[in-house]
Structure 1
Amino acid sequence: MTDLWQNSMDHAVAAARRAGQVVQQALQDDRKVMTKSSSVDLVTQTDQRVEQLIIQSVKEKFPTHRFIGEESVAAGEPCVLTDDPTWIIDPIDGTTNFVHAFPFVAVSIGFSVNKQVEFGVVYSCLEDKMFTARRGRGAFCNGEPLQVSHQTDIKQSIIATEFGSSRDPEAVDKIFSSLRNVLCIPIHGVRGAGTAAVNMCLVASGCVEAYYETGIHVWDVAAGSLIVSEAGGVLMDTEGGEVDLMSRRIVAANNRTIAERIIREIDPFSPTRDDAPSKSSQ
């Protein structure tokens, strides 16, 4: 049977690795920092350069494919997921990490057809870890199979989350209310890599039992969501039910029991483009 998307995935892996080399080189140079929605919502010239590098290479090879890119949307492009083959790109997930040389910076590329992610590539470029997944074919890190944790007791778990880029007191209060509730279950601890893509790969790797966040975007989680599910994990909305990658809410967990327990502790709020944490690159 013809494999429709293997060439696309091979291209995504190669593009992510090239992008990672650009990021690594940029860390040695002057990192000019700009802001988007707030003083802590950062973007660099490297974000923009990497996204254009990926998009241009895809356009040359797959001219009929569509794109959703973080920096393109920030520049005014629509963020609409259609049934067409679509590349969903976060050129630097962890921009604040990148600015501070904090060692978790990822290039994230998801590929969707009929609004379903067919493959995901997350390259944690400073760690040189290439996470990949194909729908129905498993998840891998540098070619080795991934498997979520077998832990079923949330009190024996580590949970990952992030704090977003909003510093609006009401939004911050809700974030910390949820964090307090989760921490006091009690759990073993809370962690956060500063990038949604890496946090989800940590779930897929079995290092943490779950990751939750409200206010993320589809480019933060498209690739990682498939990596989690192909490693045996589950995806849910923070308000319960199945996840919608366009909803800006996600719980990624090793099993449904832990996901549902976390959902019961989250103080819900509805993210908008302006008032919610806008990305996971704190």
Structure 2
Amino acid sequence: MDFDQILYASIKACQLGRKVLLDYFGELKNVEDKFHAGLVSEADKESERVIKNYLLEKFPGTFFLGEETFFSNKEDKPSQQGKWICDPLDGTTNYVHQFPIFCISLAFEWQNQVQVGVIDVPMLHETYTAVRGQGAFVNGKPIHVNKNTDFSKSLLATGFFPDDKRELEEQLHYFGSIVGDCRGVRRAGAAAYDLCQVARGVFDGFWEKNLSPWDVAAGQILVEEAGGVVRTYKNEVHTPYSRSLVAGNSTIVDGILKRFVTVKTSR
């Protein structure tokens, strides 16, 4: 498999999705509320349609796992020719309210491992790319995770899942255990974008739970290729199908997980 060819096709597909998102920005007519899955608009659906059609025409033997397609048919399956994992609009709530932090996340999985990741941030004119073993880049320039090991000087990021009250309560306890020990915690509202900022060294670390494969697949390879680590809340190896994620350099990730243990033992 030629992963450079996959990368170029991924970038082109994201450019097609970017045009859709910019065309619809501020012009939405139909916004729906998916059960326990956030908002969806005509921009999400059209972005996924053009990305999917382009990729499957170019690589007809591959399987496409997209957020909006999966919400409709619940179909996911392996493919010997590889699998695309796509969020056509990560940060839909931001997009609907015209807050300019949203992105397209696209990954290519081959033999049960993500090999290529692209995240396009339309309003910032940034395209993050990674091919396994070749490093991570933004607009062609190499990026690296922050080397800071002092937790008190770290800038972190997280997200919340308000639809499950028990999970939200747990997340707030985790947040409380961390926010006083670091320099600050940000919530941008798009996990793929947060992982880009970890890979770039802007955020020292990021944690969140109840994420889906399309939220994290591209971001995980970006962080790993930028020199970082990605683990679960149980300090296990993370895959795109894990339900919890902690990312950053190894020292900051250990610091976050240590505070999670403290919360669990104190409750």
Query: Which interval holds the TM-score relative to the shorter structure?
Result: over 0.9
- Gapped regions of structure 1 (runs ≥ 5): 270-282
Q: Which residue of 1 aligns with 2:27?
A: 29
Verify the 8 A CA contact 1:31 1:99 in the aligned structure 2: no
**Does residue 1:6 correspond to 2:4, yes or no?**
yes
One-letter amino acid of the counterpart of residue 245, structure 2: I
Cα distance in structure 2, aligned partners of 1:244 and 1:82: 17
Cα distance in structure 1, aligned partners of 2:135 and 2:81: 23
Q: 1:81 to 1:235 in 2, by over 3 A?
A: farther
Verify the 8 A CA contact 1:202 1:208 in the aligned structure 2: yes
Q: CA deviation at 1:18?
A: 1.7
> The residue matched to 1:187 in structure 2 has which SS?
coil
Greater CA deviation, 216-225 or 76-85? Answer: 76-85
Q: 1:148 to 1:33 in 2, by over 3 A?
A: same
Counting only pairs closer than 5 Å after superposition, residues 212-251 of structure 1 correspond to structure 2 as 212-251=207-246
Q: Which residue of 1 aligns with 2:50?
A: 53
Q: Which residue of 2 aligns with 1:273?
A: none
State which of 251, 258, 269 in structure 1 corresponds to 2:252: 258
Verify the 8 A CA contact 2:63 2:78 in the aligned structure 1: no
- 1:93-118 Cα offsets, whole Å, 9 max, x none, are 00001100111110110001011111
Percent identity between the two aligned chains: 33
Q: TM-score, normalised by structure 2?
A: 0.94
- 1:42-76 Cα offsets, whole Å, 9 max, x none, are 11111111111111111111100111110111002
Counting only pairs closer than 5 Å after superposition, residues 65-76 of structure 1 correspond to structure 2 as 65-76=62-73
Q: Which residue of 2 aligns with 1:19?
A: 17
**Does residue 1:183 correspond to 2:190, yes or no?**
no
Q: CA deviation at 1:183?
A: 1.1
Q: 1:229 to 1:83 in 2, by over 3 A?
A: farther
Structure with more helix by fraction: 2
Q: 1:83 to 1:116 in 2, by over 3 A?
A: farther
> The residue matched to 2:100 in structure 1 has which SS?
coil
Q: CA deviation at 1:31?
A: 4.0
- CA RMSD in angstroms, aligned pairs only: 1.7
- Gapped regions of structure 2 (runs ≥ 5): none
Cα distance in structure 1, aligned partners of 2:118 and 2:32: 27
Cα distance in structure 2, aligned partners of 1:245 and 1:209: 21
Q: CA deviation at 1:218?
A: 0.6
- Of the two structures, which has the highest relative contact order with CA contacts closer than 8 Å and spacing of 6 or more? 1
Q: Which residue of 1 aligns with 2:107?
A: 110
